[in-house]
């Protein structure tokens, strides 16, 4: 089933990604992050977020013959995220993010980006604002690696009444860095810590995905997420703390709307 409601970008050559030879080559480099289930507007917002973190642009250039070619990050005609050949990232970007995104794109696993918006009835079903999940909406291309979708609640990242920062720049906790966190789960198969009580007791424990995203935050000189678990507050708010990459001191925290973080009762 390929009847997703997504808008086809009209400026790119359909077969550019197989070197204009679609019969003899089929996706030789992978391109395995798909945004088919996102609206064009959401895909643009994903591109902007990744651009900020990697330093790749999201632009296009037109040659003498009027052919339009991407110069950085883009979604191709089949809805797959790509980095244009020869793309050069600016020096503000994280090299770990650049290398990782490239590796994820070349991975065989097909990871779908899914937003809550088209599935309003299940909004709030998941434990977090974004999460790596088994793909509920289509058969998994590889059942042995089930984390083939990342669910993003776009609503929360744009609605400041649900997502309130206290002294931490949005880049440190926003959708882009969160996607890198989830992609770490998707592509490595590494989960979050299982012993939550121990994490709670130790107070400073992060996990592989938090550590990975922190490496990128560090390269971008952003505050690092200090612990894995949010602290629960009265009124349903959860607080995630951040610390300075240089001093290790707490520099602020982010409040998450707890109603969005509770699994739906079965």
Q: How far apart are CA 83 and CA 101, in angstroms?
A: 9
Cβ closest to Zn ion, residue 153 vs residue 192: 192
161-220: contacts with Zn ion (CB under 5 A) = 192, 209
The residue ranges of DSSP E strands in the chain, in sequence order, are 33-34, 60-62, 68-70, 73-75, 81-83, 111-115, 130-133, 149-152, 163-166, 224-225, 231-232, 237-243, 250-257
CB atoms within 10 A of CB 37: 21
CB atoms within 10 A of CB 144: 6
Cβ closest to Zn ion, residue 9 vs residue 258: 258
Q: How far apart are CA 16 and CA 117, in angstroms?
A: 31
| Residue 133 within binding range of Zn ion, rule CB under 5 A | no
Cβ closest to Zn ion, residue 81 vs residue 179: 179
Q: Which residues is 243 bridged to in the sheet? A: 224, 250
The nearest distance, CB 233 to Zn ion, in angstroms, is 21
The nearest distance, CB 204 to Zn ion, in angstroms, is 16
CB atoms within 10 A of CB 90: 11
The nearest distance, CB 190 to Zn ion, in angstroms, is 9
Cβ closest to Zn ion, residue 223 vs residue 230: 230
Q: How far apart are CA 23 and CA 34, in angstroms?
A: 22
Q: How far apart are CA 85 and CA 83, in angstroms?
A: 6
List Cα–Cα distances, 97 to 32, 88, 105, 177, 220, in angstroms.
16, 13, 12, 9, 10
The site for Zn ion, by CB under 5 A, has a size of: 2
The nearest distance, CB 193 to Zn ion, in angstroms, is 9
The nearest distance, CB 83 to Zn ion, in angstroms, is 24
Cβ closest to Zn ion, residue 138 vs residue 145: 145
The nearest distance, CB 115 to Zn ion, in angstroms, is 18
The nearest distance, CB 97 to Zn ion, in angstroms, is 17
Cβ closest to Zn ion, residue 38 vs residue 133: 133
Chain position whose Cβ is nearest to Zn ion: 209
Cβ closest to Zn ion, residue 47 vs residue 209: 209
Spell out the residues 6+ positions from residue 39 whose beta carbon is closer than 8 angstroms to its own: 5, 6, 7, 115, 117
Q: How far apart are CA 263 and CA 259, in angstroms?
A: 9
- Residues interacting with Zn ion, by CB under 5 A? 192, 209
């Amino acid at each position: 089933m390929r009847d997703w409601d997504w808008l086809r970008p009209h400026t790119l050559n359909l077969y550019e990604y197989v070197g204009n030879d679609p019969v003899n080559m089929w996706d030789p480099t992978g391109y395995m992050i798909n945004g088919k289930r996102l609206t064009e507007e959401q895909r643009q917002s994903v591109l902007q977020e990744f651009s900020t973190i990697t330093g790749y642009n999201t632009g296009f250039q037109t040659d003498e013959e009027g052919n339009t070619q991407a110069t950085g990050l883009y979604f191709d005609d089949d809805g797959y995220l790509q980095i244009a050949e020869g793309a050069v990232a600016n020096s503000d970007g994280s090299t770990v993010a650049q290398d990782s995104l490239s590796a994820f794109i070349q991975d065989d696993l097909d990871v779908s980006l899914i937003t809550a918006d088209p599935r309003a009835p299940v909004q709030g079903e998941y434990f977090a604002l974004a999460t790596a999940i088994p793909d509920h909406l289509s058969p998994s291309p590889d059942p042995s690696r089930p984390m083939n979708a990342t669910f993003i609640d776009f609503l929360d990242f744009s609605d400041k009444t649900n997502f309130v920062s206290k002294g931490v720049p949005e880049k440190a906790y926003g959708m882009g860095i969160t996607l890198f966190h989830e992609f770490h789960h998707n592509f490595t198969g590494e989960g979050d810590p299982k012993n939550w009580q121990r994490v709670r007791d130790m107070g400073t424990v992060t996990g592989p995905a938090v550590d990975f995203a922190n490496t990128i935050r560090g390269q971008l000189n952003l505050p690092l997420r200090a612990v894995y678990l949010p602290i629960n507050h009265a009124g349903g708010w959860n607080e995630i703390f951040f610390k300075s990459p240089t001093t290790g001191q707490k520099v602020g925290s982010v409040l998450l709307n707890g109603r969005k973080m509770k699994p739906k009762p079965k």
